[in-house]
Amino acid sequence: MKTIAWIVLLIGAACTAMYVATGLGGGPVAWANGWLAGPILLVFVAPTLFSLAGKLGGGFAALRGGVPKQFRGAPIGMGTVISVGRTGLSVNDQPQLAIQLRVDAADGRSFVGTARQIVDLTELGAVQPGAVLPVRYLPDGSVALATDASQPELQAALNRVQLAKGHITPQQLRIAEHGIDASAVVLAMAPTGEIRDGRTVAKVTLRITRPDHTMFDLTQEKALPQSAIPRVQPGSAVQVKYLPHDESEVAIVTSLA
């Protein structure tokens, strides 16, 4: 955006010089010639473009799938959307949103931050209140959506946040990080009636298929987020991880889209 603004400024300056040169000595009509566009560019268009570039900041970086420079390499947390509003800016008819989030960090801290992001109109459904979005955060509490992070990086951050929040145990984290992938079918799912940190505790019975195509059944209590309950109904196929030398516990894979 700043590059475009500088180009417009230079063109405006050149056209303004021609406007003055052709207008001098030509009478009132001569001033209303084609070079009149020069002063218009110089006085109105270029300043507007410079102002817009400053306001957007990292917005264009976000359109390219990146994050503003100050957030590159910053730690990743999981942000739950609290509210969403438009800032009034847009790029190619795509609105910039102010997304307020409650961020859970891998060290156990929670705080509220606001990310400003250009969002495609087709993706607005992904930033509704209650949605969980990965964010990069700075020590001062500033946040930006982690649009540059790889899927393994996001999964590792999600696992660490769940450990810090007490949603998984250290053993379950070891399974998630070092276990083998397997497919499973939900045989039964029965809520216990307990709500733990906003999650529904349920007894889940799984039939897990080993890599050699043999199977084993396992019943465990799981504290499930509300978004996961429709995916663990009887008959559903789920992805799990387990340690080959210890089939007493499995971890249901929770992934971020």
pLDDT at res. 216: 94
Same-domain pairing of 83 and 121: yes
**Domain finish residue from 155, 177, 211:** 155
Q: Is residue 61 part of a domain?
A: no
pTM of the model: 0.58
Same-domain pairing of 171 and 246: yes
The whole-angstrom separation of Cα 89 and Cα 62 is 14
Same-domain pairing of 205 and 247: yes
What is the span of the domain harbouring residue 236? 166-252
pLDDT by residue, tens only, the chain of 257 residues: 444 444 544 455 455 445 445 554 555 544 455 544 544 444 444 454 444 444 434 433 333 346 788 888 899 999 989 998 888 887 777 888 889 999 999 888 899 999 888 887 777 777 888 888 899 999 888 899 888 888 888 888 888 888 888 878 888 888 888 899 999 999 999 999 998 877 889 999 999 999 999 999 999 988 888 878 888 999 999 999 999 889 999 988 765 54
Q: Is residue 176 part of a domain?
A: yes
Q: Is residue 109 part of a domain?
A: yes
pLDDT at res. 31: 46
The whole-angstrom separation of Cα 39 and Cα 19 is 8
Q: Is residue 17 part of a domain?
A: yes
Q: Is residue 161 part of a domain?
A: no
CATH of the domain at 92: 2.40.50
Same-domain pairing of 77 and 151: yes
Same-domain pairing of 194 and 127: no
Same-domain pairing of 151 and 174: no
Identify whether the C-beta of residue 247 lies closer than 8 Å to the C-beta of residue 196. no
Same-domain pairing of 199 and 149: no
pLDDT at res. 164: 87
Q: How many domains does the chain have?
A: 3
Beta pairing partners, 99: 84, 115
Quickly list H helices, the chain: 2-23, 27-30, 37-40, 46-56, 59-63, 151-164, 170-178
Q: Is residue 160 part of a domain?
A: no
Q: Is residue 257 part of a domain?
A: no
The whole-angstrom separation of Cα 223 and Cα 241 is 17
